[in-house]
Chains A and B, each alone.
Chain A
């Protein structure tokens, strides 16, 4: 018996035992249990990556279908990254990662499926993306405001979760980015995500990103996650617990705190 079948049977039996009837329909929910880790490093869009190395390696970049304005903004961020002074909000410890970057994190994930919501839980951050699957709509424009994770509503198409996210912060304000190369979006970003376990057993999240202010055409990015061995655990991630790398607010340089509690290195930009 597959784990999915067991889940459905368990729900059916639970329904029978609670209500004393035999006609309760089984909840169709895929088995997304366990602990998952992203494949491929923290380059957000591996399909358009050029250059050798990771997101902090000078020369590495991606090629979203940016309009001219946002291509210039991205290039400016790349230049800062090449100089080692790109101001990543995550480095300050305390700001939520936001969507879609929370699909692009190291450490591990849990994908919790409940009757009326799906939660994407990231160890790094930590972050929670709540996806409402109870049939509700997005709040009206007057009743919502930009947040790090925005507002997500979704539904199931078989074993595929489809969800729609909007009302996100503008990355231009500097409080969220997508990866360390400096990818950004505007507050007009609208993302439709399709998530399912593929034939190889990998969780696959395909994000179709539209952004009338930043993109000349839809940007489709797929991230994949592997299930870790059974019994794997998720731990606290308390970024300020012992953060020995403060950022110079003026230059973006990352310092190192020595054993005496004082900054021990030299900012080459000063």
Chain B
């Protein structure tokens, strides 16, 4: 499992484990949801590394569950909300896209209150393959 300490640009967000990268060029990007996205802070992008626990390829949204180790050594499960499996499926995303155990870097719009969740933006696997938006 990779550590949050791997991240290139860091900035305290919720004291102990969030890292934030400037994300002005991502501002304005959001997937359609059947609900309000007011819980997400789309003014900043958080980037971290972790290990895939599960890819919930379900309606109305898919969820990427990622195990992340914070600076204290505690492992926290992050919940990253993405688009519907239907639209993503038509774009080539599959239930197997995020295999359990895979190491990934993640970019997400974090939850405003600091809870371990966010709106998924993109991911990069160890072999350099990227999913979603990775710029």
Task: Name A's B-contacting residues (CB within 8 A).
Answer: 41-42, 53-54, 56, 83-86, 88, 90-91, 93, 106-108, 123-124, 180, 228, 232-239, 241-245, 247, 252-256, 258-259, 264-266, 268
If A235-B89, A241-B58, A243-B60 touch, whether A86 touches B36 (CB-CB below 8 Å) is yes
CB-contact partner of B117 in A91, A236, A242, A256, under 8 A: A256
Interface 1/0 per residue, B57-83 and A, CB below 8 Å? 011110101000000000001010100
Proximity string of chain B (10-35) to chain A, C-beta cutoff 8 Å, 1 when within and 0 when not = 00000000000000000010101111
**Could you say which residues of chain A place their CB within 8 Å of the CB of B37?**
56, 84, 254
Are A237 and B86 touching (Cβ within 8 A)? Answer: yes
Number of chain B residues close to chain A: CB under 8 A: 32
State whether A244 touches B63 (Cβ < 8 A). yes
How many angstroms between the C-alpha atoms of A233 and B86 in the bound complex?
9
Residues of chain B lying within 8 A (CB to CB) of residue A41: 32
Main secondary structure of the interface of B (DSSP, over half): loop
Are B63 and A123 in touch, CB under 8 angstroms?
no
When distances are taken between beta carbons in the complex, the residues of chain B under 8 Å from A268 are 112-113
B36 touches A91 (CB 8 A): yes
Q: In the complex, are the beta carbons of B34 and A54 less than 8 A apart?
A: no
Give the docked Cα–Cα distance between A180 and B35 (Å). Answer: 9
Question: B117 contacts A258, CB within 8 Å?
Answer: yes
Complex: how many Å from CA A259 to CA B67?
A: 11
Chain A hits for B84, CB < 8 A: 106-107, 124, 237
What residues of B have a CB within 8 angstroms of the CB of A108 in the complex?
86, 90
Q: Is the CB of B39 within 8 A of A254?
A: yes
Do B90 and A106 touch across chains, with their CB atoms under 8 A apart? Answer: no
In the assembled complex, the Cα of A252 lies from the Cα of B36 at a distance in Å of 9
**A245 near B35 (CB under 8 angstroms)?**
yes
User: For window 32-48 of chain B, which residues contact chain A by CB distance below 8 Å?
Assistant: 32-39
How far apart sit A149 and B132, CA to CA, in the bound complex (Å)? 36
CB of A227, distance to nearest CB on chain B (Å): 13
